[in-house]
Amino acid sequence: MTGVSLSKVKKTYGNVEVLHGIDLEIEPGEFVVFVGPSGCGKSTLLRMIAGLEEISGGNISIDGQVVNNVPPSKRGIAMVFQSYALYPHMSVYDNMAFGMRIAKESKEEIDRRVRAAAEMLQITPYLDRLPKALSGGQRQRVAIGRAICRDPKVFLFDEPLSNLDAALRVATRIEIAKLNEKMADTTMIYVTHDQVEAMTLADRIVVLSGGYIEQVGPPLELYERPSNLFVAQFIGSPAMNIVPVTITQTGETTEVELNDGKRFEVPVKTPAEDKGKKASFGVRPEDVREATSDEEFLFEGKISIIEALGEVTLIYIEGDIIEDEPIIIKLPGIHKGAAGDVMRFVADPTKLHLFDEKGRSYLYR
């Protein structure tokens, strides 16, 4: 089993620094997913681990060995690309065997590995076909099979499902999850912009923004206990609702005031010196429900848009407490309301979040 260690890793292009001293320990056999907005540096970081990009500072270690100057072919890694990168004139079998032939493996060993990988990925019937005769999902499985055949220490996936349609993306994601179970001793690093992939595949998620790591942790930890506003709004779809408030009472629980003057308690601890300061109150769309007629409501507003998705309904609310973005409510089933209706809502008090003026969660201070 092989781990990967990043110590103060930097990347610059000319005078522009795009990765600012990344520190990260990836445990042997761990499945780690890099997520973040476009341009945050996640694919660049993956390519640096692969040796396809030079590092500008720091050290990258694989299996305890610093590999800064080790060529990609000697790092013990295999990479699966977004574009499949299959040889169009070669059969599936030959595509999967190509790397081993270059490494001068025996014919028997090549045949054993190719057929074992094909069986694992259920592509044995396609071994004699050319890539053009396969669907997008089948081609991606061939690309994964080619990586398996190299028997790597570390698997690297660079947005491997982004070129597939929705149904194929789900099917191939399940194949990757099964592959991870079957190859539990192999370390896997996966880059994606798809939160569903990150939440369902990862042992840990690394959230990147602007070349910095914002938070690292298991998927549910990031979802339930985001360390800052960026993570709170990036993880989860629809994003967490964020509302500006003023802290009116500090202590073991905190009283805050909305723009409309309404006050309520948030079950997080705040220091006495933060009384009177501006803050941001957060609640996820699924943690809000419609108030009953005799219930004290948290906030009210007019419905601007209703999106009926079948299993859930998304309701967009506009009101006095909101500055820019509408509040989004996620209700189960079909909701019979209409645009212009006034609704009152309450929130699960155990699911409320509070962030300070710098965007840091009070839970992590």
Q: Which residue has the higher pLDDT, 286 or 185?
A: 286
Summarize pLDDT for 257-308 with one digit per residue, the tens: 988 888 888 999 999 999 999 999 999 999 988 888 787 777 888 899 999 9
Reading the block at residue 359, the tokens are 């965007």
CA distance 105 to 97: 9
Q: Mean pLDDT across the stretch 348-363?
A: 91
The full set of domain ranges for the chain reads 4-229, 234-364
Summarize pLDDT for 109-153 with one digit per residue, the tens: 999 999 999 988 889 999 999 999 998 888 888 988 898 888 888
Summarize pLDDT for 48-100 with one digit per residue, the tens: 999 999 999 999 999 999 999 999 988 989 888 888 788 999 999 999 999 88
The CATH topology of domain 234-364 is: OB fold (Dihydrolipoamide Acetyltransferase, E2P) (2.40.50)
Q: Is the pLDDT score of 320 beyond 90? A: no
Of 9-13, 122-126, 200-204, 323-327, which range is least confident? 323-327
Summarize pLDDT for 94-103 with one digit per residue, the tens: 999 998 898 8
Q: What is the mean pLDDT of the chain?
A: 90
SS3 169: helix
DSSP structural state of residue 291: P
pLDDT attached to residue 208 = 96
Q: Are 228 and 361 in contact (CB under 8 A)?
A: yes
Domains 4-229 and 234-364 share a fold: no
pLDDT attached to residue 137 = 83
**Residue whose entry in the numeric block shows the structure tokens 């710098």:** 358
Q: Is the pLDDT score of 162 beyond 90? A: no
CA distance 114 to 146: 8
What CATH number does domain 4-229 carry, 3.40.50.970, 3.90.420.10, 3.40.50.300, 3.90.650.10? 3.40.50.300
CA distance 85 to 72: 16
